[in-house]
């Protein structure tokens, strides 16, 4: 546990690439923030993926969207369980849109439990009308000139304009 974390504080981590952060992500964040003393939105550096937005841009968009919520936005690299240990987290929050997400996330939760048994995985479903939204679909629709204003916050929508993928 990190020195800054009190043993009585319940800290959770919600990690992802957030390329970009969607309204579905924001819904999960808002509800998770109500369940824990502190929520950390951990933005993955994502060396293994080509991203539309740089880490700096993704963190900026997340910080703008999280303004007013008890959420810290931090970058992370490596194993999420190592990050949880460093932050003194008791839980990992995962958003589940469908059974495909559940199958993948259940397998990840089982592996994470082997790595750090003291950290629980909490699954949250976004509101029904947000369950069809994914960052991948938002990027594709935006790249093709479609309107994504019902899928992302206004700040994110303003940044979504045709641009090349980051290397």
CA distance 167 to 130: 29
**Residue of 6, 1, 14, 24 lying closest to 44 (CA atoms):** 14
CA 95 to each of CA 29, 77, 166, 167: distance values in angstroms, whole numbers, following the listed order: 9, 20, 25, 27
Query: Residue positions in the annotated binding site?
Result: 17-18, 25, 49, 80, 94-97, 105, 130-136
Q: Which of 15, 25, 52, 139 is catalytic?
A: 25
Is 135 marked active-site? Answer: yes
Can you say which residues are annotated as belonging to the binding site for ATP?
A: 17-18, 25, 95-97, 105, 130-136
Q: Which among 49, 54, 56, 149 is annotated as catalytic? A: 49
Closest by CA position to 29, among listed 6, 5, 53, 61:
61
- 97 catalytic per annotation: yes
Of 58, 135, 139, 142, which residue is the catalytic one? 135
Count of alpha carbons within 13 angstroms of residue 46, beta-carbon side: 21
**Would you list which residues are annotated within the binding site for substrate?**
17, 49, 80, 94
User: Structure tokens of 93?
Assistant: 């929050």
Among the listed residues 10, 31, 72, 97, the single catalytic one is 97
Tell me the C-alpha distance between 112 and 79, whole Å.
9
Dihedral angle over CA of 16, 105, 151, 47, nearest 10: 30
Are the CB atoms for 5 and 11 separated by under 8 Å?
yes
Annotated catalytic residues are 25, 49, 97, 135
């Amino acid at each position: 546990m990190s020195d800054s974390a009190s043993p009585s504080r319940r800290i959770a981590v919600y990690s992802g690439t957030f390329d970009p952060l969607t309204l579905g992500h924001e819904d999960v964040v808002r509800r998770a923030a109500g369940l824990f003393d502190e929520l950390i939105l951990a933005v993955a550096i994502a060396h293994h993926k080509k991203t539309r937005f740089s880490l700096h841009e993704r963190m900026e968009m997340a910080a703008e969207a999280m303004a007013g919520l008890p959420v810290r936005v931090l970058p992370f690299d490596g194993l999420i369980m190592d990050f949880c240990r460093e932050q003194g987290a008791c839980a990992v929050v995962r958003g589940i849109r469908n059974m495909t997400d559940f199958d993948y996330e259940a397998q990840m939760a089982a592996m994470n439990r082997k790595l750090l048994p003291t950290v629980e995985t909490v699954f949250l479903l976004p509101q029904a009308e947000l369950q069809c939204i994914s960052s991948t679909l938002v990027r594709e629709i935006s790249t093709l000139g479609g309107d994504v204003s019902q899928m992302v916050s206004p700040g994110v929508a303003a940044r979504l304009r045709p641009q090349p993928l980051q290397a």
